[in-house]
């Protein structure tokens, strides 16, 4: 992953308001390097699950960082590059549909998160994770329900993961244009379900997901 030169006006010295206050309180308990971890793509019927681990610097606020699901696409793209420009460290893990079918989506999500953390250049003192725990990672962990609304680091990770996954699905749209992956990104919209019924699943569909299987034949 690279970075672009982003104007520094969007990053300000922080007064530690939400969601940065939570991360600062963790630092005050002796954890200097905090990595937030989140995923994108756990629910879709097609494509990979993507996880990101992001360590943000202390004392900097990137305005607008919040749960990626409520950030408009154009703003997510801007925030992606601001996060990449200011982050201390970023790691990404990607698990494809074939592996999801083989090990199930929960295990695949944990594997993507594991790979994102191990891709970091520096070992975090603590990992803040949206809801899950990773026994495979021998680092102190703090699972947070709705963590992307509570922790700036998790929210930043959610944006990185979402933007990367959306770009992957846009590329898959070029390979499989009849499914509309550029619009719904693999989620089970009415149009997507209709295209599966009409054309059958393509190679990136998750065959283990019930809605991807062929409709039951009438008796």
Domains of the chain: 8-162 (3.30.420.10)
Distance CA 172, CA 185 (A): 9
Distance CA 174, CA 181 (A): 9
Closest-CA residue to 36 (of 111, 94, 113, 95): 113
pLDDT for 70 = 85
pLDDT for 19 = 87
pLDDT for 213 = 81
Average pLDDT for residues 139-148, to the nearest whole number? Answer: 94
User: 11: which 2 tokens?
Assistant: 């990053």
pLDDT for 102 = 98
Question: Residue 191 phi/psi, 5° resolution?
Answer: -60, -40
* Residue 131 binned pLDDT confidence (cut-offs 50, 70, 90): confident
Q: Is the pLDDT of residue 217 over 50?
A: no
Contact 53, 133 (CB under 8 A): no
Contact 205, 172 (CB under 8 A): no
Q: Is the dihedral of CA 111, 44, 144, 58 positive or negative?
A: positive
Instruction: For 47-80, give the DSSP string.
Output: S-EEEEEEEPPTTEEETT---GGGS-HHHHHHHH
> Tokens 């990367």 — which residue?
164
């Amino acid at each position: 992953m690279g970075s672009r030169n982003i104007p520094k006006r969007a990053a300000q010295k922080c007064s530690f308001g939400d969601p940065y206050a939570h991360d600062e309180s963790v630092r005050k308990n002796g954890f200097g390097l905090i990595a937030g971890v989140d995923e994108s793509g756990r629910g879709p019927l097609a494509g990979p699950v993507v996880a990101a681990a992001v360590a943000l610097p202390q004392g900097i606020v990137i305005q607008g960082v919040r749960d990626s699901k409520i950030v408009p696409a154009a703003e997510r793209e801007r925030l992606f590059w601001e996060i990449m420009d200011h982050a201390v460290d970023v790691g990404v893990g990607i698990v494809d549909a074939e592996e999801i079918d083989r090990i199930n989506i929960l295990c695949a999500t944990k594997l993507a998160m594991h790979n994102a953390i191990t891709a970091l250049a520096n070992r975090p003192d603590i990992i803040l994770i949206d809801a899950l725990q990773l026994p495979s990672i021998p680092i102190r962990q703090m699972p947070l329900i709705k963590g992307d609304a509570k922790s700036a680091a998790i929210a930043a990770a959610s944006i990185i993961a979402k933007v990367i996954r959306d770009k992957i699905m846009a590329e898959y749209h070029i390979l499989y244009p009849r499914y509309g992956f550029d619009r719904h990104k693999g989620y089970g919209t009415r149009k997507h379900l209709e295209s599966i019924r009409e054309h059958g699943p393509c190679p990136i569909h998750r065959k283990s997901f019930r809605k991807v299987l062929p409709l039951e034949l009438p008796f």
